[in-house]
Each structure stands twice: as C-alpha cells, then as structure tokens.
Structure 1
Amino acid sequence: MTGRPSTDEVLRGIDLRGRTAVVTGASSGLGLETARALAAAGCTVIAAVRDPERMRRALNAAAGDDPADRGIGVVELDLADLDSVRSAAAAIAAGHPVIDLLINNAGVMAPPLTRTAQGFELQLGTNHLGHFVLTVGLLDRLGAGARIVNLSSRGHLMSGMRWADPHYRDESGYDKWQAYGQSKTANVLFTVELERRFADRGIHAFAVHPGVVATDLARHLGREDFTTVLSGLAVADVRHGAATTVWAATSVELQGRGGLYLEDCRVAGPASGSQEGGGGGYAPYAMDPDEAARLWSWSEEQVRRS
C-alpha cells in the first residue's frame, strides 16, 4: 500500500453538485470507483462503457438502488471501434451541454496481438486512438475550468512511440509489453498536446499513473508476467488506486495548471529509476512537445482514414 489517500479522503469537503463528468471504462475497477466517488460528492456522472448492462449490475450491487438515483447515467462505448466512439460522443454531447470533467480511464494491457475494428493494434487503438476520437468529439462541450484526465502508467517507461511501425504490421516484431508502453506514452503525449492547444480556453489536461492495482486490466496476464514484469511492485486497492485520478479531477492545488504527470496524489518529475525497480516519474520522451505535436497530427491522419 502506498501512502496516498483514498478517493473518499481526497473528496472530503468537496461539493461537486452542478458538475458533470464522463468516465470511460466505469463498469469495474478504477473506473467504477472513480464514478462512485464523484457521484457520492454530488457530481452527475456519465459512465461510458462497453457493456451497459454490466455497468448497471455493478452499480446496483454497490448501491442497492437505481443508478439514475445516484446521478450516474450509462452510455455504450467500445473504444476498439471508432464508429462506436463517434456514436457515444454524439449521444453524450446531445444530452449534456456542458462537461466539466472527462476521465479517459478505460484501457487494455498486454494482450496477444489483436486488431481493433479499424485494424489498429489493440492497445494503441483502444488506450489512445479511441480516447482521442472521444475527446475531440466532446471538445465543444468543455469550457473554462474543465479538466481532462488521461490514465497512463509507469509502464510508459517500457517504450516511446514506435513511429516506424506503431501498429505492428510486421507481426513478428510484436511484444505485448512494448506495445503497452507505447500506448501509455501516447496517453502522456496526448496530455501535453491537449494542454498546449486548449489551456488558453481554460481547459487543462493531466496524465495519471494510478499505481499497480488488482483489477480486470490484468486479465491477459500469465504467471510469468507476475513473476517478472510486475514482481516486487506494491499493489493498491481501487479506493487508493483511483485517488490520484480523483485528485487530478478536483484538486484546488491544480487549478489553472495542466500538462502534468501525476502519481500518488502529487505532481511527479522526471523518472529516477526503472519500471522494474519501481522508480517513479516520467520518461523525458513522454513529455516532449515535438513528439506530442507529431502524435496529434498522426492521430488525426489515422482516424480520418478510418
């Protein structure tokens, strides 16, 4: 367990009534806890999930009542299919003229080589490109004071952008952890470019490392992964794992700031150690403004053709 607070401790004394948040991947794990905590503080939450019925069951099991009574609505969203992403963005925008918080939480980690509906490598396609299309589709609903929180990971230290073959068209070169690292680097670079483009509108973006948390994200992992890549890393429960996300979304300390990499409810600096050694902070390539601008242009090209 880290020394970070729980979500409820982060939100103690904070009143989010009148504010609206979108949380992706909210049917389990960190996303469900983020949605629950924000709703408990009075926020209206739109849970954007691949399986709406699973979301409803999860909320009913946790709350014992109708999710609508808790200020949580549900929208279907499959980040691995850009047609679904565009439909979800349109539905959310039609029902909510103002969005204060966009929490890009959903993700996939270290699966076998898989393709999205548009043929992208699954991790880059889901973790970055799906959220790219959703975020761009909701920008007109974000105004001054809005925050965008992108769930990254210390796993970004495993790889920068592989510009020569980001989607592993050469399938013989696929490495699930390298691909995961690339997608998590993309999350940080996306944050940097969002801040550059929209800070003058009062919209600020943050990249979050939630720590190692026992959730469904690990469903593709085998015993070897836990004894090598994840060996020795402290595991947090969801109420502590989601705390940095909630802190990024609500902290007064971060008001008027953005383009930051956050972990353990604090602003992190450059990495001082390796992923395997548990060192914190970000890799310089993940905060490179030129790489961030390149990723935005590349992302526009990818989704335009899809």
Structure 2
Amino acid sequence: MSEFGFSSTTDEVLAGIDLSGRTVFVTGANSGLGQETSRAMAARGAHVIMAGRDQAKLDEAVAAIIAEHPKAQLDTLTVDLGSLESIRAATSRARQRFAKIDILINNAGVMATPFLHTADGFEMQLGTNHFGHFALTGELFPLIERGHLKRIVNLSSRGHHFSAVDFDDPHFERRAYDPWISYGQSKTANVLFTVGLEERFAVLGIHAYAVHPGGIQTNLGRHMTPEMTEALMARISSADTGFAWKTIPQGAATSCWAATAPELEGKGGVYCEDCHVAAVDDESPTDGVRSYAVNTSYAERLWAMSEDATGVQYPS
C-alpha cells in the first residue's frame, strides 16, 4: 500500500527520488497540472520536454519554473493534439532533437466542450483526449523504447464513470451529443489505452498507468457554463458527500507517483487515484475503476479502431 494519499503533493511523492539523466515528456505542460508536473520533475533533476499548443504560453511556464528552479533543464515542443498533421510534424521534430524518453505523461485534455470536431473529423473530446495521445505515443515509441524507466502515464478521470466507449457511434453521428457522456467516453478510452499498452509492451519492460488526479479547479473547465458547473457539482455532491477540491500540487501528485513509484515496478495496466492503485468497482459512486474501462476485449477493440482512425501503427 502506498504511504501517500489524497492530500500528498508532487514534492512529497518525489522526495528522495533522483531523476538526473532521465527525460520526461509532458503534454499540456503550459499550465495547471502539466506545468506543476514539469516543475516537480525538473526539481528532481529530470530533463523535461514541455509540450503544448501555444509557444508563448509554454515560454511563460518555462519562465515560471526557472524562476523557482534556476538549474531546471527544460525544452519545449508545440503540438496540437486535435490535428494528426501537427502530431506527425511535432513527433518528427522530437525524434530529431531528443535521444530518448524515460517517462511520457499524457496530461493534456479538454472537458465538456460544445459539439465540435478535430481537424481530422473526430468528435473533439474523444479526438483530443484519446486519438491525439494514441497517435502521439505511437509516433514517440522509438524514443520510449530507448528510455530506461519506460513508463507511460495517461490522465484519465473519475469522469470515466459517466460512460463506457460507444463503439457503434463514438463520434455522436447518430445519438444526441451530451458533453458529459462524451467526456466520460474519452476518459474511459484513456484507461483502455493504458490496458492495451500494457498488454502489448510489458514484455519490453514498458508499463502504462491511468491516473485520476482528483477534483482540481484548472482551465480544463473553460468550456463550462455556470449552469453546467452547478449541475456537475450537484451530481458530485449527491454521490460524494465528502467531496473536496485538491490543490494543483495535490492533483499532479498521482501522475508523479505513477511515473516513479518503486512499488509499481513491473506492474502496469492499472488505474491510480490518490497515489494508490484503485480497485475495480462497478458500484461506488466515488472510488475505483469501472470494469468496462479495464476490459481487455474492449481495449483490443479500441486499439484496432484507433489504429484505423489515426493511421498510426505501433511495433508488432
């Protein structure tokens, strides 16, 4: 059992861990959880590649980290996860610039967007949160294979409780669009992607972890109207009478824990929350991972759909 829990921070879970010589790649690194994860990893000596859509925002995040940790080793990479063309261009640059990736943290995401589509015609939340990271990870795989720690962390959410993946209509072409069902589907896909990675690549020493960071007030909620926020909080509070927000350092702690914890060595394909591996639970409104999110046959089905949709082929 982990010694850490709900209120643990990034610096607490990384205390005593030396990441000198390690390269960490973080998506959505220009703000919020991604920036804090990058800061905490850099503070432990890691070379951090901070990826995001906006170079100016990345530069601001780098400046903020350098102000606190003047010796931080940071690089930036611009990428739009809503565009396969952007992903191909960015990962090509990454393969040219960097020798390896020890830890990949797929942190970026969108939440509760209006009914929108990515540049490639995918529904925006599934397209960005899952297909974008599926493509990015596949294109970065040569660097991951050359890494030493070989861990991949995919940010999911308790929002995966809202919905399984609808394989018959993933892009809401026939069913009515619901921003929360869409979000839940994309977060379930993040867990299934984790399971799929573990099934394929554990034999190579590459392990994957899905993470629920907790409830954090970041710009992830920028698409939410006051009415949507009120409805979501009513939904949460009715299910979880003890709900409490986390700070950003607390929210990023489980990502840092999953990326580095010695007790997870050789054990992947799991869903983590509050710095521990969560149980499979189809009843609890507040804890655990739903069985449909760790179902290996669903993971296989999603993998095939993702390869077909993105054109990205992983090593066989």
TM beyond 0.5: yes
Structure 1 residue 3 displacement after superposition: 3.2
Percent identity (aligned) = 50
Moved more, 230-239 or 153-162: 230-239
Aligned to 2:50: 47
Identify the match of residue 294 of structure 1 among 262, 286, 301.
Answer: 301
Are the equivalent residues in 2 in contact too, given 1:272–1:280 (CA < 8 A)?
no
Per-residue deviation, 1:246: 0.2
What is the aligned residue count? 299
- By how many angstroms is 1:272 displaced? 5.5
Asked if 1:281 corresponds to 2:285, the answer is no
Aligned equivalent of 1:252 = 262
Residues 224 and 10 of structure 1: CA distance in aligned 2, closer, same or farther (over 3 Å): same
TM superposition shift of 1:223: 1.9
1:219-242 CA deviation, whole Å, 9 max, x = no partner?
A: 111222222223333211110000
Alpha-carbon deviations, 1:115-163, whole Å to 9, x = none?
Answer: 1000100000000000000100111111353000000000001111111
Alpha-carbon distance in structure 1 between the residues aligned to 2:161 and 2:281: 9
Q: Distance in 2 between matches of 1:61 and 1:102?
A: 22
Superposition deviation, residue 304 in structure 1: 2.2
Q: Which residue in the other structure is 2:240 paired with?
A: none
Equivalents in 2 of 1:10, 1:128: separation in Å? 27
Match of 1:122 among 112, 121, 124: 124
Structure 1 segment 89-128 matched on structure 2, within 5 A? 89-128=91-130
CA RMSD across the alignment: 1.7
- 1: CA distance, partners of 2:68 / 2:15: 23
Contact conserved, 1:60 with 1:66, CA < 8 A, in 2? no
Contact 1:4 1:265 in 2 (8 A): no
Equivalent position of 1:191 in the other structure: 194
> 5+ residue gaps in structure 1?
none
Q: Please, which moves more after superposition, 190-199 or 219-228?
A: 219-228
Deviation at 1:95, TM superposition (A): 1.5
Q: Which residue of 2 aligns with 1:24?
A: 27
Residue 273 of structure 2, aligned match among 263, 274, 277: 263
Range with bigger deviation, 264-273 or 96-105: 264-273
Q: 1:230 aligns with which of 229, 233, 256?
A: 233
Cα deviation code 1:12-43 (max 9, x no counterpart): 11110000010000000000000000001000
Runs of 4+ residues over 3 Å off in structure 1: none
Kindly provide the amino acid, as one letter, of the partner of residue 288 in structure 1: N
Residue correspondence of structure 1 range 210-221 to structure 2 within 5 A: 210-221=213-224
Structure 1 residue 209 corresponds to structure 2 residue 212: yes
Gaps of 5+ in 2: 238-242
Distance (whole Å) between structure 2 residues aligned to residue 3 and residue 282 of structure 1:
16
Quick one: which amino acid aligns to residue 225 of structure 1? M
Are the counterparts in 1 of residues 43 and 69 from structure 2 also a CA contact under 8 Å?
no
User: Where does residue 173 of structure 1 map in the other structure?
Assistant: 176
Check whether the contact 1:211–1:241 (CA below 8 A) recurs between aligned residues.
Answer: yes
* Residues 51, 58 of structure 2: 8 Å contact kept: no
The answer as to whether partners of 2:30 and 2:57 remain within 8 angstroms in 1 is yes
| Cα distance in 1, alignment partners of residues 247 and 281 from structure 2 | 24
- Where does residue 137 of structure 1 map in the other structure? 139
Which segment is superposed worse, 180-189 or 217-226? 217-226
Q: Distance in 2 between matches of 1:136 and 1:27?
A: 22
Separation of aligned partners in 1, 2:177 and 2:154: 25
Q: Does the 8 Å CA contact 2:214/2:245 hold for their aligned counterparts? A: yes
Does residue 147 (structure 1) correspond to residue 151 (structure 2)? The answer is yes
